[in-house]
Chain A
Amino acid sequence: MLDLSQYNSLGAALRDALERWRDETCLIEADRERENGRLTYRRFKEAALPLARWLQANGFMPGDRAAIIMTNQSKWLVSAYAIFYCGGVLVPLDYKLSAREHIELLAHSQAQVLITEHHLWRAIQQSGNFRDLPARTVLVTEVPADAGLADAKRWEECKDSGEPEFITRARSDWACIVYSSGTGGRPKGCVLTHENYLEQCVSLTAWFPFWPGVRYLSILPTNHAIDFMVGFIGPFVCGATVVHLRSLRPEFVRDAFPRYKITYVTLVPLILKNLEKGLRARFEALPAGHRKFLNGLIGINRFFARQRPRLWLSRILLRQIHRAFGGELRAVFVGGAFMDPATLQFFFDLGIPVANAYGLTEAGTAVTVNDFNPFRADTVGRPLPGMEVKIVNPAADGVGQVAVRSKTVMSHYLDDPELTSEAIVDGWLMTGDLGRVDPSGHLQLFGRAKNMIVTEGGKNVYPEDIENAFDGLNVKELCVFAANYVWPQRTLGGEELIVVLHAESGQEIQADLLADLNARNRRLPDFKRVRGWVRWDEEFPRTASMKIKRNVLAEALRSKLDRQTAVTEL
């Protein structure tokens, strides 16, 4: 691994990595059963530098912002490196957002360059707010031969010969603007510096090292802070290989493990549970005798792994299971949302350690990770090296708000000093999550102090961001809440959104109103939908500028209504 303390920027570290590991494979891209191609570090460099040169020739200046909206593929990382090489600030956006949301975030970030895929660009061009697009240079890949692009350019043609100028950056300079949420409401653009990333990389690789030959399966979107780190920066500075899949159907993901002998992977709880379901179904289909024998082997494995994983033993005892995962899997990272301890234990007993982690974009990704010494299914692990975690205003049982201090904590929220001063207090990042640190230093989470949910797919959803979907609904006023914010649960499970409806005086909540609500709800992506509604007959408390006082309204709801009886399922 490169000694990252010697570097000031991601661009400089990556530049040396491409030289040092030049003959190693850095990227494998597969599409279903087909392999699209492999790149060595040398070839990666040969693909990126002509693009960097082209960007410079077309007016891209140090400090300029360039957005990438792409599915996980080689061109994502090649483009990102070209941007860093030019001293640019990368704005990685979630390709799963709608075109309208893409434009809103592009406008907020003021990205001068946009690099995207054809199907996404087509949607952006057709969006009603297209004229708000700030990018003056648009590069599009995977364009059908007969498709017109108007002013946009084909990514593949954006190459200039000659040596681009490498632009030096300071550690405190911005590396990325990463949106942790927010379109309809208040965009939260986390400004992360080169130091944030370099320090995070040192922390994570101290516990989970990469080296040439390690293969990381990149499934989470690369714009996601965790995949950007463990599916790009971490492996690259260590000479490891990243595997991209163009199709994330469960069957192709399963096939990728043995085909590419995967070492590490990051999954969201939804996918891990899907894998568990598949394995349990296969176990149950075994004849009774086989099943009993398997259970015996699992019991032996559990006994020997009670202090720490013993992968070599697990691979012998449970050979067929490990073979299905490629036989070289060292750890599965999971985080971003509540993970059922029973699922974690299920995999650990099979000799597949799942490193349950806790992190947030504002903290530069992971804060705590389960280090397996010993394995604990009931916590999100211990703070990574360089992370300080404290509990603010703990109650008698030790539970309070989790705060984090580290060199990895973001610089600020883009163009929002007010939000920044709420989030970072005296150098501590206030996470808005409730937790307790147990005597062994493990962090346990107990729900959220903030009005938001995190889906099983790992997406943050802020209620105020989706309220505009219900504008014009025939009620006097409405407000969307995270149900667990109104009625705190002391658990991270059962996270769902609800809408509070205040009807015009004397009106009932009629079937046609609910039909309209349902129709609007259905137009939202699944993870943003409200799951129930609550009738409320009092005026919403509001500020002088007529904003809803959400905390006051939540308190009123909590004191007067019971969740079980008040929420009607949609």
Chain B
Amino acid sequence: MRTLDQTVEEILTLAAAHFKVPRAGLTPDDDFFKTLRIDSLQALELLTRLECHFGVELPDYEMQGVTDFRTLAERIQARL
């Protein structure tokens, strides 16, 4: 079972790879819309990528109001 910190780390690594940004430039409390320079549709694309990686299914509404990696990790962690 992953810890929350591990989940956060994996999300940061996947997000960096998916949007082709340096991993070192991302921190758990970043506003991912701003740091990754993405819109809401691209955020949903990231969610699909994360679902495949973690093997969970997240309803779209789980992303509502989520803007930072740590909260996203908490939502995923709750379903692992």
Which chain B residues numbered 14 to 41 have a C-beta less than 8 Å away from chain A? 31, 33, 39-41
A96: chain B residues at CB < 8 Å are 64
Find out whether the CB atom of A274 lies under 8 angstroms from the CB atom of B41: yes
A247 touching B45 in the complex, CB below 8 Å, given contacts A270-B39, A526-B33, A526-B67:
no
| Measured CA separation A247–B51 after assembly (Å) | 13
Per-residue B-contact encoding for A116-145, CB less than 8 Å = 1, 0 else: 000110000000000000000000000000
The 6 tightest CB contacts between A and B, nearest first, are A249-B44, A274-B41, A247-B60, A522-B31, A250-B41, A119-B61
A251 contacts which chain B residues (CB < 8 A)?
A: 45, 48
Given pairs A251-B48, A522-B31, 5 additional interface contacts (CB within 8 A):
A96-B64, A98-B65, A249-B47, A457-B40, A526-B40
State whether A249 and B45 are in contact (beta carbons under 8 Å apart), knowing that A119-B61, A270-B40 are contacts in the complex: yes
Which residues from chain A contact B67 at a C-beta distance below 8 Å?
522, 526
CB nearest to B48 among chain A residues: A249
Q: Is the CB of B44 within 8 A of A250?
A: yes
Report yes or no: B41 in contact with A525, Cβ–Cβ below 8 A. Answer: no
A71 to B63, CA, bound (A): 14
B61 & A270 in contact (Cβ 8 Å cutoff)? no
Asked whether A271 is an interface residue with its Cβ less than 8 Å from the other chain, the reply is yes
Contact B39 A249, beta carbon cutoff 8 Å: no
Alpha-carbon distance A271/B47, docked complex (angstroms): 17
Q: How far is B64's CA from A92's CA once the two chains are assembled, in angstroms?
A: 19
* Closest B residue, CB atoms, query A98: B65
Q: List which A516-570 residues lie within 8 A (CB) of chain B.
A: 522, 525-526
A425 within 8 A of B: no
* Chain B residue nearest in CB terms to A248: B60
Cα of A119 to Cα of B60 in the assembled complex, Å: 11
Q: How far is the CA of A248 from the CA of B60 in the complex (A)?
A: 7
* Distance of A70 from chain B, by nearest CB (Å): 11
Within 8 Å by CB of A249, from B31, B33, B60, B61, lies B60
Q: Across the interface, do B65 and A270 meet the contact criterion of CB distance under 8 Å?
A: no
Contact assessment for B65 and A525 in the assembled complex, using a CB-CB cutoff below 8 Å: yes
| Interface 0/1 of A236-260, CB less than 8 Å to B | 0000000000111111000000000
User: Can you offer 9 A-B residue contacts whose CB atoms are under 8 A?
Assistant: A96-B64, A120-B61, A248-B44, A249-B44, A250-B45, A270-B40, A271-B41, A456-B39, A522-B31
Give the Cβ gap from A355 to chain B, nearest Cβ, in Å.
22
Interchain nearest-CB distance for B72 vs A (Å): 14
A250 neighbours in B (Cβ, 8 Å): 41, 44-45
Residue of B nearest to A95 (CB): B61
- Given A98-B65, A249-B48, A525-B65, the answer on whether A270 and B59 have CB atoms closer than 8 Å is no
Cβ proximity bits A19-62 to B, threshold 8 Å, 1 near / 0 not: 00000000000001000000000000000000000000000000
Closest residue of chain B to A527, judged by CB?
A: B40
**Cα A94 to Cα B68 with chains together (Å):** 23
Residue in B closest to A251 when the chains form the complex, CB atoms = B48
Q: A249-B47, A249-B48, A251-B48 are in contact. Are A270 and B64 (CB under 8 A)?
A: no
Could you say which residues of chain B place their CB within 8 Å of the CB of A119? 59, 61
Which residues of chain A have C-beta atoms less than 8 A from B64's C-beta? 96
Contact flags (1/0) for B49-65 with A, using CB distance below 8 Å?
00000000101110011
Residues in A with CB closer than 8 Å to B44 are: 248-250
A32, A246, A249 — most chain B CB neighbours (10 Å): A249
Q: Which residues of A contact B57 (CB under 8 A)?
A: 32
Contact with B along A263-288 (1 / 0, CB 8 A): 00000001100100000000000000
With A and B bound together, what is the CA distance between A201 and B69 in angstroms? 44
Q: Which residues does chain B contribute within 8 Å of A456, judged by CB atoms?
A: 39
Residues of A within 8 A of B33 (CB): 526
Q: What B residues does A249 contact at CB under 8 A? A: 44-45, 47-48, 60
Which chain A residues lie closer than 8 Å to B40 at the CB level?
A: 270, 457, 526
- Residues on B with C-beta less than 8 A from A271 are 41
Interface centre among A98, A247, A248, A270 (most CB of B within 10 A): A247
Smallest Cβ distance from A372 to chain B, in angstroms? Answer: 27
State in angstroms the CA–CA spacing of A119 and B33 once bound together: 24
Please indicate the chain A residues that have their CB under 8 angstroms from the CB of B65 in the complex.
98, 525
Return A472 CB to nearest CB of chain B, in Å.
Answer: 21
Question: Cβ of B31: which chain A residues have Cβ within 8 Å of it?
Answer: 522
- Considering the complex, give the chain A residue whose CB is closest to the CB of B34: A522
Kindly provide the distance from the CB of A520 to the nearest chain B CB, expressed in whole angstroms.
Answer: 13
Least CB distance, B63 to chain A, in whole angstroms: 10
* A residues less than 8 Å from B60 (CB atoms): 71, 246-249
Q: How far is the CA of A119 from the CA of B39 in the complex (A)?
A: 24
A119 and B59 alpha carbons, distance in the complex (Å):
10
Please name the residue on chain B nearest to A525 by beta carbon.
Answer: B65
Q: How far is the CA of A170 from the CA of B33 in the complex (A)?
A: 48
- How far, in Å, is A454 (CB) from chain B's closest CB? 15
Interface string of A502-525 (1 = CB under 8 A from B): 000000000000000000001001
